[in-house]
Amino acid sequence: MRIVIFVILVLSLQISESTALLKERKSLLVGNVLKNYLETQHYRPQNVNDELSNKAFKEFIKKVDGSKQFFYLGDVNKLRKYKSLMDDQMVNGNHYLVIEARNIMMSRVKEAQDFRKVMFEKRFNFDLKEALELDPDKKEFVASEKEFQEHWRKIFKQSVLNRYLSLLEEKKSLEEDKKSREENKKEKKLSENKKAQLKIDEKILKMSDTDLRNKAKKSISKKYKNLFSRILKESHDDYLEKFFNSISNIFDPHTSYLPPKKKEDFDIDISGSLEGIGAVLQEDGSFIKVVKIVPGGAAWRQKDLEVDDVILMVAQETGDPVDLVDMRVEDAVRYIRGPKGSVVKLTVRKVDGTRKLIKIERDVVQIGASYAKSSVLSFKDKKARIGYIQLPKFYRDFDGKGRNASSDVRRELIRLKSSNVDAVILDLRNNGGGALVDAKKMAGLFIKNGPVVQVRDRPGKIEVMSDDDPDIIYGGPLFVMINRFSASASEILAGAMQDYKRAIIIGGEHSHGKGTVQAVYNLNNGPFLSLFGETFGALKVTIQKFYRITGTSTQFKGIKSDIVIPDPFDYGKNREQDLEHSLPWDEISPQKYNIWSAFNYKYDLLKKKSGERVLKNDRFKKIIESINYLKERREDTKISLNLKETMRQEKENEEITKKLKITSENDEIIVSNFEQSLKDSEMIKASDKEKWDEDFKQRKDEWIKRLRLDPGIEETMNIVLDHLSENKMASVGK
C-alpha cells in the first residue's frame, strides 16, 4: 500500500515541471523513499510516527550540537514544537525543523566568531584553578549570553593549552631526533621532503617558551576561525542528512542514510582501495575517536594507534598540524588519508590521558597481512605441542579467484596435524567478523555435521545454515579465544563450538554482541527515481538477525566465555549493548544437534585452576590494575585548565602507564613451525618480493615476540595442559 501511495506521489509531479523544480522536490522524494524502506525492510517493525519522532528529536539535537557548545537552552526549547512532527515533515517535504535549527546555529556560530576575535586579543592565564567539563551528558545547555561566552572562553583556553603542551612534546621529540642523527655518523641521503621538514623542525627547536605560547595561541585562533567559517557554509542538505539519520538511527545504530558523498566514501572503504592508515573513526562529542583498527592496515601493522584513542591533531610530513577537535569526521579523514608511502603524524590522547605522537606510513590495506597464520607452541619443560591459529577476520573473495578464511584455516589445521600437535588454539580476538559462509564452513572443520547458525528475517522466516560435510579435519581438543572485539562471524563460530561442547571458549567475560546483518539499498534504483537525473545516495539498513542453534541470539549479549581471563580492553564502553537503540537480545526455537562425545572437557576444574593462576600471575595483575585505572580515568571527564596541574596529571598518567605496560616476554614459550605459514599468509607481488625477503627476519621476530608477550596466550596454553593432564589421568584410570 505504501509503495502504491508513493507511486501516486511521484506521478503527481507533472512531467512539465522544470528540472530546477524537480531538484527542489528531491528531499521530499528521499524522505518518502527512506520512510518506505525503513518501515517495510528493517528487521524491527516500527512506524515512523509521533512516538518515534519524539525520540528522533533528541537525536537531531545531538547531531546538530552534540557537545552543547552553540545552542542556548531557550533555542532547544524553541525547537521542541517540532519534536512530534519530524515524521510529518519527512514525507511532506516541509522541513521547518531543519530550516529553523540551521538558522539558529548560524546565529550562534557568528556570536562565537565575534567572541573569538575579542578573546584572542587577550592573554590566557594558565595559573588559575579552573576546569572544563568535556562530557556533554554531564552539562546543560547555557541559559544566557554570559554563560555562552564563559563556556567558549574555557574552550578556547583549553585548546591553546593543549596545543602548547603538544608543541612542548614535539620540541622534545625533535631534540631527541636531532641528537640521534648527530650520533649516527652514517647519515642516509635525505629526500627533498625530509630536508624541507628538517628546516621546519629547526625553527621549532629555536623557539623560546614565549614563542611556543604565541604559536599555540595563533594556530588555535586560526583553527576556530576556520571551524566557524566551515559551519557557516553548511548547507540545508547537510542539516537534512542529520534530520534523516536522526530518524534512521532510532531503528538501530547500524541503520543510516548515506547521502551521495558518503555513499561514495562507503564504496571506497568497501572496495579496499582506500589508501590511508587503516582505521575506522567516528565523532564522539567534540572529538574524533578510533573505533576500529582494520586488519592488514598501516595502523594495524604499526601497532601504536589503538581503539578508543582520541586523535587531537594530524600533520603531514611537512607543514603545521591541523587540529581535529570540533571537526566533522568526514573532514578529518581527508587530512588523514593520503598517497601510499607518505607519512602522517597523529597527536593522540590515550584513554589514560597521556598524549602521544604517532607516525604512520600510509599504505593500502594489505589483505594478506590479515590472513590466517599458525605456529606450534610449547613450554620448555613440557612435552605437549599446542597448535595456534590466529584469524584476524573472516575474509573471502566472492569472485572465486582469491583466498577465503575457511580454506586457509583448513590448510593450517592440516599443517598442524602433520606437526603432531596435541591440541589447537583458535584465536578470534579482535576479529570483527566478515563472510558468514566462512563461519559455517569453519565450524564444519571441527564437527561431523549439523546446524551452525540460524538467520531470521523481518517476516520471521528462519534459515538454518548447516554443515553438510561429514569430514572432520581436526578432531582433537579445541580452545577458542575471544574478547570484546570479537563480533559477528566470530561470535557465530565461537557460539557453535560452545553449543556443541566442541571447544572451550576463553577470554573476556563477553564478546562484542553484534548479531545483525545489514543491506545497502541504492536509492537511485527506487520507483521512478532514475527519471529525475539526481543522485539520491543509499540506505544501510538492518534486515536480519543471527541466532545460535540453541535459539538464543548473539545480539546484544554476545558469547559468554567458559573460562574468563582479564581482557585488557575491558575498560571501554564499546560493545553493542553500549550503543543507543541497539536491538535487544531474544530467543527463537532451538535446533536439534548432537553434542560432541569423543571426549569431555572438565569445565569447572579447568576454570578453578585457571582462576588460581590468574590471581598469581604478575602480568595479569598489571592488566587488572590497568583496567581499573582506565575505568576511573574514563569517568573523570573534567579537564584542568591550569598549566602546572595539567602537566602534573600528564606526568602521573605517563608514569602509571609505563608501570602497567607489559614488557616482559615469557621466554619459556617456544614458538616453532611457523615460517611457511607466515610466508603463505602474505600476498607477495614480484616487485615486492625482494623487500619482503629483507624484512622477513623482522616479521619472524615480531611474531615470536607478540606471542611471548601475551599473557592470554600463556594462560590458554596452561588451560590446554590442564585438560591434557586430566584426560591422561582419566585414561589411566580406565
List the single range of 211-215, 287-291, 557-561 with lowest mean pLDDT: 287-291
CB 293 within 8 A of CB 278: yes
What is the maximum span of the chain, computed from C-alpha positions, in angstroms? Answer: 91
- Give the whole-number percent of the chain exceeding pLDDT 90: 67
434: phi > 0 → left, psi -120 to 50 → alpha, else beta; which?
A: left
**What CATH number is given to the structural domain containing 290?**
2.30.42.10
Examine the domain organization and report whether 505 and 378 are in the same domain: yes
Q: What pLDDT is attached to residue 352?
A: 82
List the single range of 73-82, 279-288, 477-486, 539-548 with lowest mean pLDDT: 279-288
Tell me if residue 225 falls in helix, strand or coil.
helix
pLDDT over 90 (residue 135): yes
Domain edge (last residue) among 314, 332, 364: 364
Examine the domain organization and report whether 221 and 340 are in the same domain: no
**What CATH number is given to the structural domain containing 563?**
3.90.226.10
Please give the average per-residue pLDDT across 48-61, as a whole number: 98
More confident residue, 60 or 360: 60
pLDDT over 80 (residue 694): no
Task: List pLDDT tens digits, range 245-255.
Answer: 999 999 999 99
Task: List pLDDT tens digits, range 491-537.
Answer: 999 999 999 999 999 999 999 999 999 999 988 775 555 555 557 88
Tell me if residue 552 falls in helix, strand or coil.
strand
Position 11 confidence tier, pLDDT thresholds 50, 70, 90: very low
Position 278 confidence tier, pLDDT thresholds 50, 70, 90: confident
Examine the domain organization and report whether 156 and 53 are in the same domain: yes
Examine the domain organization and report whether 415 and 326 are in the same domain: no
Distance CA 546, CA 551 (A): 9
Examine the domain organization and report whether 421 and 400 are in the same domain: yes
Distance CA 713, CA 507 (A): 10
Please give the average per-residue pLDDT across 322-328, as a whole number: 85
450 φ/ψ angles, rounded to the nearest 5 degrees: 135, 175
The cell for 335 is: 587530512
The answer to whether position 644 is within a domain reads no
Q: What pLDDT is attached to residue 532?
A: 57
The cell for 180 is: 640521534
Task: List pLDDT tens digits, range 330-385.
Answer: 788 888 888 888 889 899 988 888 888 898 888 876 666 689 999 999 999 999 99
The answer to whether position 649 is within a domain reads no
The count of domains in the chain is 3
More confident residue, 721 or 329: 721
Examine the domain organization and report whether 165 and 309 are in the same domain: no
- The residue type of 241 is E
The answer to whether position 202 is within a domain reads no
Average pLDDT, the chain: 89
- The residue type of 332 is A
Examine the domain organization and report whether 343 and 385 are in the same domain: no
Distance CA 252, CA 511 (A): 19
Examine the domain organization and report whether 608 and 678 are in the same domain: yes
Examine the domain organization and report whether 217 and 347 are in the same domain: no
Q: Long-range contacts: 208-215, Cβ < 8 Å, 24+? A: 212/164, 212/167, 212/168, 212/171, 213/160, 213/164, 215/167
More confident residue, 242 or 338: 242
181 φ/ψ angles, rounded to the nearest 5 degrees: -65, -40
The answer to whether position 647 is within a domain reads no
Examine the domain organization and report whether 386 and 431 are in the same domain: yes
CB 467 within 8 A of CB 449: yes
The answer to whether position 425 is within a domain reads yes
Which of 523, 634, 505, 650 lies closest to 567, judged by CA? Answer: 505
Distance CA 180, CA 185 (A): 10
- Give the whole-number percent of the chain exceeding pLDDT 70: 88
Domain edge (last residue) among 364, 392, 416: 364
List the single range of 20-24, 189-193, 524-528, 575-579 with lowest mean pLDDT: 20-24
Examine the domain organization and report whether 118 and 65 are in the same domain: yes
Tell me if residue 379 falls in helix, strand or coil.
strand
Q: What pLDDT is attached to residue 274?
A: 42
Please give the average per-residue pLDDT across 98-126, as a whole number: 97
H or E segment and range at residue 704: helix 689-709
**DSSP letter for each residue of 528-588:** TGGGGT----EEEEEEEEEE-TTSBB-TTT--B-SEE---TTTT---SGGGSTTPPPP-B-
pLDDT over 80 (residue 276): no
Domain that holds residue 72: 42-184+211-251
Task: List pLDDT tens digits, range 589-633.
Answer: 999 999 999 999 999 999 999 999 999 999 999 999 999 999 999
Task: List pLDDT tens digits, range 306-317.
Answer: 988 999 989 887
The answer to whether position 680 is within a domain reads yes
pLDDT over 80 (residue 691): no
Q: Which residues contact 564 (CB under 8 A, 6 or more apart)?
A: 507, 508, 509
The answer to whether position 20 is within a domain reads no
The answer to whether position 203 is within a domain reads no
Predicted TM-score (pTM) of the model is: 0.89
Examine the domain organization and report whether 596 and 722 are in the same domain: yes
